[in-house]
Structure 1
Amino acid sequence: MKPLSVLFAACFLTGALVSSPAVAMPDLVILVRHAERAAEPAGDPALTPAGEQRAQALAQALAGLRVNAIVTTPLRRARDTAAPLAKALGLTPQVVEARGAAHAAAVADAVRAQTGVVLVVGHSNTVPAVIAALGGPKLADLCETSFHHAFLLQPGIEPPRFAQFSYGAPSTAPQAGCL
C-alpha cells in the first residue's frame, strides 16, 4: 500500500504547494491516530508489536513528503508512533500538553505556527477535533480499533482541501458511529 499512499499524498501535496497562502501556514497537515497500544500500564501504555510495525509503516509512507515538523501529545503511544519518522528526519517532535476541550485549539495553534509539512499524532477523539479546529470537515471520532487512517489537510485555503488514505495493516471493521 505504501506506493499508492505516497503517490496519493504527493499529488495532494503538489496541489497544496501550487495554492499556498501568502501568510505563514503549513502547506500540508497530516493527521494520524497513535498506533496500537498495549493494555498496561493503564495510564500511559507503550505500543504493541503491531503498533511498532504501524509506526514504521507511517515513517515509510511519509518518507518522501518533506515533513519538517511533528506535533504529538505527551502520551507515550503518540510519541512512540511519531518516533521512527522523527528519528529518520532528525526532528524533535513538539509536545502539546493541553488536555480536554482546549487540546484541539492548542494543537491547531501549534500547527498554524509551522510552515511546510506538519505531522500531527493524536488520539481517537482528538484527531477529528484538530481537523475541525484547522477548518476541515467535522468527522466522527475514530473507533477504538481503528489505527490505519491518515488524514491530509491543506488549511490555508478556502475551503481547505481534505483527503484521507490508509497506511500499514488494515484495522478491524469499524463499529457504527465511528470511523
Structure 2
Amino acid sequence: MRTLVALAMLALAGCASVPAPPPVPNIYVVRHLNTPAGVANAQLTAEGRANAVKLADFFRRDPPRTILVSDTDRARDTAAPTAARYGAAVLTYDASDTPSLVAQALASTGTVLVVGHSNTVPDIVAGLGGTKPAPLVHEDFGDVWHISGPQRTTVRSKLP
C-alpha cells in the first residue's frame, strides 16, 4: 500500500504545473522610409509618406500593439499611419542604445514594430535573435524583417 501511495504522489508531482515561459513577441523591424540622399535629419519624401501608408497596409493581418521609434521625424512619420490605423502605442527609444531597445522589444507583448535607421537595423535584427542583414545603403527603403518564434526565424519582405 505504501508503494502505491508513493507512486500516486510521484504521479501527482509530475502533473504539477510548471510555469510556461513568456511568449516570445512577434517583432518586425523596418528602416525609416524614403528620404532624400545627403540631407542631415531629412524628412520623408512624398514617396516615403506613400510607403508609410503601404506599411500600415502590410500589417492588416498582424497589427502591432507597440511601435518603437527613434527620436527623429522620419522614424515617427514612418510609424504614424500604422499607429493611427491600429491604435498602437508609440514609444521613443535612444537610437544609440541598441541593447536597451532590444530588451524593451523582447519584454513587449503582442506584435511589435521597430523603426530604425540604415546604421542600426542590422544590429537590431541580430540583437533580437534574427539573422543579421548586410549593411544597408541609402537606397534600401521598404524592407521589413520579421523575427518570430522561439527559433527567431527571420523573414525579409519588401513593401509593394
TM-score range, shorter chain: 0.7 to 0.9
Cα displacement string for residues 128-163 of structure 1 (whole angstroms, at most 9, x for unaligned residues): 101111111222121210102111101x51x32111
Letter in structure 2 aligned against 1:108:
V
How far apart, in 2, do the equivalents of 1:138 and 1:25 lie? Answer: 18
Residue in structure 2 matched with residue 143 of structure 1 by the alignment: 137
Cα deviation for residue 39 of structure 1 reads 5.6
Give 3-state SS (helix, strand or coil) of 1:142's partner.
coil
1:29 to 27, 30, 35: 27
Give 3-state SS (helix, strand or coil) of 1:93's partner.
strand
Residue in structure 2 matched with residue 114 of structure 1 by the alignment: 108
Q: How large is the Cα RMSD of the aligned pairs?
A: 1.8
Aligned length: 141
Higher alpha-carbon Rg: 2
Give 3-state SS (helix, strand or coil) of 2:88's partner.
coil
2:119 to 113, 125, 138: 125
Flag the 1:39–1:124 CA change in 2: closer, same or farther, 3 A. Answer: closer
Give 3-state SS (helix, strand or coil) of 2:104's partner.
helix
Residue 126 (structure 2) pairs with residue 166 (structure 1): no
Cα displacement string for residues 96-116 of structure 1 (whole angstroms, at most 9, x for unaligned residues): 0241xxx22121011012011
TM-score (normalizing by structure 2): 0.81
Letter in structure 1 aligned against 2:84:
K
How far apart, in 2, do the equivalents of 1:74 and 1:63 lie? Answer: 26
Letter in structure 2 aligned against 1:34:
H
Which segments of structure 1 move beyond 6 Å, counting only runs of 4 or more?
Answer: none
Cα deviation for residue 53 of structure 1 reads 0.6
Runs of 5+ in structure 1 lacking a partner? 1-20, 169-179
TM-score (normalizing by structure 1): 0.73
Q: How many percent of aligned residue pairs carry the same amino acid?
A: 33
